[in-house]
Amino acid sequence: MGKLNISKFNKIFPWYNGLSSDLLFWVAIDTLFLTVVKKFNAAQIVSLTTLSMITCIILQVPLLKIIKKIGNTNSVKLGTLFLLISSILLTFGKNYISIVLGKIFYEMAFTFKNMANAILKNNLELQQKSEDYIKIQTKSNTIYAVVTMIISFVASILFNFNNYLPMILCILFCFICFILSFYIVDMSKYDKTAKKTEEKVKNKVKYNKIIIMLIISYGLFYPIVNSGQSNGKLFIQQELLLKFSVEKTSLIIGAILCVSRIVRVISNMAFNKIHSKYKEKVGFMLPILLMVSIFLMISGSMINNFIILKFIIMSLGYVIILFIRDPFKVYIQDLALRNVNNEEQQTLLTTMELSRKIIRTMISLNFTMILLNNPMKVVMVILFGLSIIEVLISIRLYKMILNIDKIEKKKRKIQKWQTKLV
């Protein structure tokens, strides 16, 4: 398990992580497939996510115990296998229960697959290339963004040709990812210097305030992003239908989605350079952009006299969400893995995902109740309020990181001074 194997890992990892970031093809036609093929109604479709989320929250502790028992390498394999099982159940499931099971396997898959991020960090540390974490992860996200952009164009065509064809391709992609998962190996457990590295890392912070703030920040950011994406699209659609026909509305929505996917690709390609320039500042810059995006959608909806300006502003808000989506995850996971030792990585990554799932479930349930008696604008205003909270948390987190950096610099100066005296 030498340098050659790690070098091969670094080449394969972006492709594995990019192609296994979601159920490709499924995400492009999920609602269409469930309504047309499975004959599900809107309530059943919404309940799938809620039930699977709640189940995974309940199973989180046992899942973490399994991860600690089998290790990072086997966890990634198992997670990818769960993704494959999920795609098969969603495709060929004959009833509601089998589709629910498919969604549960889907959510569990990412709990296990998340350990790939820890593996990447550990392997890069062995190479003394920890700074390449963001570079490789942005490459993964770029691959994912490009592939999903292409799929979004062809999935509907394939669906019209044969309803099951996109899902068959989804299963095929999952199988390819399962094969690739055998190359995602945590080399640190084979390396003799790993224990020495582990001892050095033990001085890093454990579950103190910075880690707690990091978990909260991650847990709140992504439910806001997910809700901003889904509800934001519906919000723009509702406003468009007040002014245009269904045909024109569908064309405009399609154009907005197309631009947003292109912007997502650009953001992933550019993030490594952005992070190199602004460093830890991106930690609060991205949440500020999230707040701005929701504000633009709300303020744009209030314009009535200038229709073109109205939808340009609202569309810009939506596109910004796609611009910041992937970079924040890369940054926050890098920050998390930098501040815990190897033994704590599994617990921290799992806890971060648990935080996201709990907050997403709470937001989803509350928004469902709110929308029964209120317009979409109320939901967007609440999202804006939550985004302000996220900004305040991210600024606080940034200040805490700066303080730690200052302390570390002082320690290094003292050590140099002591060395000179000796």
Q: How far apart are CA 389 and CA 291, in angstroms?
A: 9
The tens digit of pLDDT for each residue in 168-191 reads 999 999 999 999 999 999 987 665
Orientation angle between helical segments 194-201 and 115-126, nearest 10 degrees? 110
Report percent pLDDT > 70 for the chain. Answer: 90
**pLDDT for residue 190:** 63
| pLDDT for residue 417 is more than 90 | no
Q: Which CATH number fits domain 3-201: 1.10.8.80, 3.40.630.10, 1.20.1250.20, 2.40.30.40?
A: 1.20.1250.20
**pLDDT for residue 295:** 97
**Nearest alpha carbon to residue 96 among 48, 54, 59, 49:** 48
The tens digit of pLDDT for each residue in 204-238 reads 444 478 889 999 999 999 999 998 988 888 889 88
Are 185 and 5 a contacting pair, CB within 8 Å? yes
| pLDDT for residue 138 is more than 80 | yes
**pLDDT for residue 71:** 92
Q: Which CATH number fits domain 209-421: 3.90.380.10, 1.20.1250.20, 3.30.70.270, 3.40.1160.10?
A: 1.20.1250.20
Where along the chain do its domains lie?
A: 3-201, 209-421
Q: How far apart are CA 14 and CA 5, in angstroms?
A: 15
Phi, psi of 37 (to 5 degrees): -90, -50
Mean pLDDT of 75-102: 96
Phi, psi of 205 (to 5 degrees): -65, 150
**pLDDT for residue 271:** 93
**pLDDT for residue 120:** 93
**pLDDT for residue 199:** 46
Mean pLDDT of 257-275: 91
| pLDDT for residue 421 is more than 70 | no
Mean pLDDT of 280-296: 96
Q: Tell the residue number behind the tokens 């055998």, with chain if given.
A: 182
| pLDDT for residue 388 is more than 60 | yes
**pLDDT for residue 412:** 56
Instruction: Indicate the pLDDT class of residue 197, thresholds 50, 70 and 90.
Output: very low
**pLDDT for residue 420:** 55
**pLDDT for residue 293:** 97
Q: How far is CA 170 from the centre of its chain?
A: 19
Domains 3-201 and 209-421 alike in fold: yes
CA dihedral 36, 38, 40, 44 (to 10 degrees): -140
